[in-house]
Structure 1
Amino acid sequence: MNPSASGWIDKYIFILEKEKLTFSFENDNAFYKNLRKNGFIYGLSVETLVPIDTANLKLTEEEIAKVNTLQALMYLYFSHHKNLNYQNCITHLNQFYEKLSEKKSSLVPSMKFNLSESKKLEFVLKKRIEKTKSVDKSPFEQIVTNALLFLDILAYKIFLKNDKISPKSYAENLETILLQSCFLALHTKTQKTKYDKLLLEMFETSTLQHAYFPDSDFLIHKINFELLNDPLEKMYLIDLCTLAVWNDQKLEHTETEFLKQLCKKLNLHHNYAVLSFEMLKTFVIKHTTSVNLFQYTYPAKQFYNQSSKMVKLLILRNKNRLIKELSQSKELIKLLGKSTVKDLSTAEKTLIKEQLFDIFKSIPSLTIFLLPGGSLLLPLLIKFIPQLLPSAFDDNKIPKK
C-alpha cells in the first residue's frame, strides 16, 4: 500500500477485509494515548495507529500522518457503527469533510471529476496533510499544521454525535482556545529565547491578533474553557501547551504552575501537567535521531524561521497572481496600507482576514493558509505583502540615497 499513490484507500480496505483487522481500543483514553505515543498529537507521526505491513515500502512522515488520520477517523466511525461496512464509513467521512469545509475551499473536489468516494477522501486527506507542492519541505508544517490535524478527529467525533452541529464552527472555536492557551504558555517563560520573543511579537503586532486576543491584558481567565467538554479536548490542549514551551528537557517553575493552572481550569488532575511533559520527553528521547523537530533546541526557532521562509517563497512564486488579486480589492489595499501606520479596528481586522482568505481560495498554492493552523501564517503574509505593492503604499518609507 502506497499512501502517495491513487487507490491507496481501496487497497487499505482490501487489506483490512482480507486480514480481518479491527480498530479496537479499550476506550477513548487509550485511543488518545496511542496517538500521542506515535507522535500524531505532536504533528510528527513516526508509526501508524493500527500496525500495517510496511516491509516493502518505508513510509514518509507525511504518509504515516495520512494513514493515522484515516485510521483515527475509522476508529471513531466504527465506535458508533458496529458493522464493518467500510464503504459506508468512507461515504460518511466525505460528508463530514464537506461540512467541515462548507464548500468554501478547495478541500473537497468538485463533482465534475466524477470521483469514487474513496478517491474523494484521498483528495481531501492529501489537501489536509501533504505539504503544498510549490513549497519546499519544512519542519514548520509538522510543528503547527500537522499538530492541529487532531482538530479533524475531534470535529468528527462531534459530528458523529450530532450531524446538525457545524464541524467548521466547532474546529474554529477550538483552534482559537488552543492558540490562546499556547501563547499564554509561551508568555510564562522567564527565560525567553530571541525566537520565543519573535514568535510572540509576530502575534502581538499582527493586524489579526485581535482574532485570538481581544484586549492587551488578555489572561487565562478570559479563555472560554466551558466549550471544552470532552476529555480528549482537554488532554490535547495541555499536550500542545507543553509542546509550545518545550526547549531544554525541563520545565521552569512558572511553566509548571501555568500548566497546573490550566489543568485546574479544565478539571484535570494537576499531575497531568507533569505527565504531559514526561510523555513529550519520552517521545523526544526515543525519536531524536529520526524526527526533525527535535534536532533543534527550540521549536520556536523552527516555527519562526521556517514559516518566514515559506511565506516568502509563496509570495515569490505567486507574485503576479497575488498582485492581480490584490489590485482588484481596493478596500483591502487601503486597509493594509493603513495597518502600516496605525492600529486597525476590530471590524477592519476581520475584513482583512476575510478578504485575504477569499484570495487564497483563488490561488491553489496558497490553500496552505486554509488548513488547520494556517491562520498562524497570516501575520507574516501581511508583513511581506507591502513588498509587492507600489512604494506609495508605505507612507513612512524612507527613500534610499
Structure 2
Amino acid sequence: MNPSGPGWINKFGEVVSNKTGVYSDFSTLYASLKKNGFVYGINVEIPSFITIEHSPSEDEKAKINLLTALYFTYALERSDTSFDVFLETIFAFYKELNVSQISFLNKILTGSKTSAQLEKLIDSRVYLDDNVISRTFNSIITNSLLFIDVLTFRYYLRAGEQIREQAKKLEYLTINITYHALNAKEMNKTDEKLSLLFASSLSFIDEAEEKFDGSYREILLNNCSPWENQYFLDVASLTVWEDFSLDYKESEFIYGIGKDMGFPKDHIAKSLEDISSFFKKNERNISFLKETNMAVQFYDSMSKVVNKLIMRNSKRLQKELSESKELVFLISKGAVKELSADEKKKIQEQLMDVFKSVPSLAIFLLPGGAVLLPIFIKLIPALLPSSFDENRVTKKEKNTPEKGL
C-alpha cells in the first residue's frame, strides 16, 4: 500500500474487512494506538496487520493510524463493518464538525462521497501545512492532536450533540493540561518543541484567546468521559516525562490531576510507565527530540521527501529515464567525475522535462525546486521496479481474504 498515492483507502478497506475481531473493545484499540504513538501525537508505528512495501514516513503513519482509529471506533460503536457505510458516516461527521481552518474542506464534503474524497479529507486533517516545500523545512509536519478527532467521532456515534463544541472543549482541556504540566517543571528546549507541537496543531480554538488560570479543572472534573480523561492523563504524562525524569513537583501534578479525574494511584503509575517505555524504545525515532543543526535537518528532511517521491513513482521514472539515454549517461558520468558547466545545465534541463511528464514530481518545477536536483540524482539508483501503482486492487486480491496491503 502507498498511503501517499491514490487508491490507498480502497486497499485499506479490503484488509480491514477481514480484521473485524482484531480489537475486541475500545480499550484494546486505545492500547494499540498508544503503543503506535498516535495517542501521544508522535506516530512511530502502524498496526501490525497492515503491511507496506516501503518504510512509511511519519505523515503516512499518521494517516494510517487516523483511519484505523476512526474505522474501528465506528465498527465497535455501531457493530457494523461495512466500509461503504463508514465512508458516508465519516463524511457526515466531518461536515458537522466544520473544521474552518481547512479552506477546501467544503469542496471535499460536497458531491459524491468516495474513498478518493476521503483521501483528501484525511490529508487535510493530518498535515499542518499543505505546501510540500515548506514542510521540508519543519520537522513538525503532522497534526499532533488527531486523537481528538477520534474521541469526538465516538461522541458523535453515541448521538452526542453540538460536536464542534465538544471538539473545542477537548482541545481546550488538552492545551491547558499541557500548559500546566509544563509549568510544573523546569522548562528546556525539548519542552518548548513539545509545546509548539501541540499549539501548532490546534484546529478549534485560538490559543491566544484562551485562559490558562486553572479554571479548566472545573470543566475537566464535571464534563468528561472516562476515555477522554484517560487521554488527558496520557498527554500530561507525555509532557512531564519527555526528559526521562520525574521530580517531586511534576509527580505531584500528575497524581493530583489523575486523582481529580477519578483514577487510582496504580492506574496513574501505569500511564507514567507506558510513556517511559515508549520514550526509551522510540527516542531515536521521535523527530522533535533530535538536536541536529539546521543544515543537517534541512538536508535530511529534503532527502526523505525526494526519496519518497522517487519510490512512489519509480515505474514512471524508469520509463522516462529509459527514453533519455543521454541523461542517464551524464548522471552515471557525474557519479565518477566532475561534469562541465554545460553538462550540468543539460542534466537540469532534461530532468525538468522528465518531471513535467510525472505530475507527482511537480515539486521540482516550483521556485527553488532546483535545489533538490542533487539529492534526486544521488537517490536515482534506489529505484525499485515494483513500487508504482501498488494501490491497485486486483481481482485476485479481492478473492484472497487474508491478503495484506
TM-score strictly above 0.5: yes
Are residues 1:117 and 2:104 paired? no
Counterpart for residue 92 of structure 1: 89
Q: Is the 8 A contact 2:194 2:239 kept in 1?
A: no
Cα displacement (A) at 1:293:
3.1
Per-residue deviation at 1:198? 10
Change (3 A) 1:58 1:245: same
Which of 284, 287, 294 aligns to 1:289? It is 284
For residues 141 and 249 of structure 2, what CA distance do their matches in structure 1 show? 28
Q: Counterpart in 2 of 1:211? A: 209
Q: Deviations over 1:155-200 (max 9, x none)?
A: 000000015x1221111111111111111111111x3336758999
Change (3 A) 1:172 1:141: farther
Q: Is the 8 A contact 2:26 2:76 kept in 1?
A: no
Q: Does residue 80 of structure 1 match 2:93? A: no
Offset at residue 119 of structure 1 (A): 1.7
Partner of 1:237: 232
1:357-396 alignment, distance < 5 Å: none
Shift, 1:57, TM fit = 2.5
CA distance in structure 2 between the partners assigned to 1:198 and 1:248 by the alignment: 12
Q: 1:223 to 1:177 in 2, by over 3 A?
A: farther
- Which whole-Å CA distance do the structure 2 matches of 1:220 and 1:246 have between them? 24
What amino acid sits opposite 2:269 in the alignment? V
Higher relative contact order (CA 8 A, sep 6+): 2
1:240-290 Cα shifts (integer Å, max 9, x gaps): 112222343110100001001101110111233332222112111112222
SS at match of 1:110: helix
**TM-score when normalising by structure 1:** 0.63
Are 1:272 and 2:267 counterparts? yes
Match of 2:168 among 145, 151, 172: 172
- Change in 2 beyond 3 A, CA 1:116/1:45: same
SS in structure 2 at match of 1:80:
helix
Residues of 2 paired with 1:194 and 1:44: CA distance? 17
**Cα distance in 1 for residues equivalent to 2:8 and 2:194:** 38
- Of 122, 129, 133, the residue aligned with 1:132 is 129
SS of 1:40's equivalent? coil
Corresponding residue of 1:374: none
Unmatched 5+ residue regions in structure 2? 200-205, 299-405
Deviations, residues 60-92 of structure 1 (Å, cap 9, x unaligned)? 111111111111111111113334211011110
What is the CA–CA distance in structure 2 between the aligned matches of 1:273 and 1:87, rounded to whole Å?
39
Task: Name the structure 2 match of 1:38.
Answer: 36
2:9 alignment counterpart: 9
2:150 is the alignment partner of 1:153: yes
Q: Report matched runs for 1:54-69 at 5 Å.
A: 54=52, 56-69=53-66
Distance 1:112 1:174, change over 3 A: closer
Partner of residue 24, structure 1: 22
RMSD: 3.2
Alpha-carbon distance in 1 for matches of 2:232, 2:281: 23
CA distance in 2, matches of 1:234, 1:176: 13
1:326-382, CA deviations, whole angstroms, 9 ceiling, x for partnerless residues? xxxxxxxxxxxxxxxxxxxxxxxxxxxxxxxxxxxxxxxxxxxxxxxxxxxxxxxxx
Assess, with a 3 A threshold, how the Cα gap between structure 1 residues 95 and 227 changes in structure 2: closer, same or farther.
Answer: farther
CA distance in structure 1 between the aligned counterparts of 2:181 and 2:218, rounded to whole angstroms: 13
Letter in 2 for 1:74: Y
How far is 1:42 from its partner?
1.6
TM-score (norm 2): 0.63
- % identical equivalent positions: 25
**1:181 alignment counterpart:** 177
5+ residue gaps, structure 1, are 307-401
C-alpha change, 1:293 and 1:272, in structure 2 (3 Å) is farther
CA distance in 1, matches of 2:224, 2:217: 17
Structure 1 pair 272–140 and aligned structure 2 pair: CA distance change class (3 A): farther
The 5-angstrom pairing of residues 227-376 of structure 1 reads 227-296=222-291
| Number of residues of Structure 1 aligned to a counterpart in Structure 2 | 285
